[in-house]
Amino acid sequence: MHDTILKSKVFLDHIAIESANPKKIAEFYSKNLMMKKNCVSNSEWHCFGPNRLLIFKKGIKINYLLLHLVVSQKEN
């Protein structure tokens, strides 16, 4: 039998997105998804909330860069 992602200890850690204007898109997500925003640098913004992190980086257009999955450690 194969495990599915719903039965496993794997979860989405963050999503990284490229945008021509990362500040503007971070402001949009912050306002509409009620997330806090943080300026990491002139070219990178983070929006975060309970169990979620969105990373916006300077790029030519919106481009989904990475879906980062994490496998939690088994409890002893």
pLDDT along the chain (76 residues), means of 10: 59 82 93 93 94 89 56 56
Tell which residue, 45, 52, 48, 55, has the closest CA to residue 13.
52
Q: What's residue 1's pLDDT?
A: 46
Q: What's residue 61's pLDDT?
A: 66
Instruction: Report residue 38 as tokens.
Output: 């943080």
Q: What's residue 33's pLDDT?
A: 87
**Locus of tokens 């879906």:** 67
CATH topology of domain 10-71: Immunoglobulin-like (2.60.40)
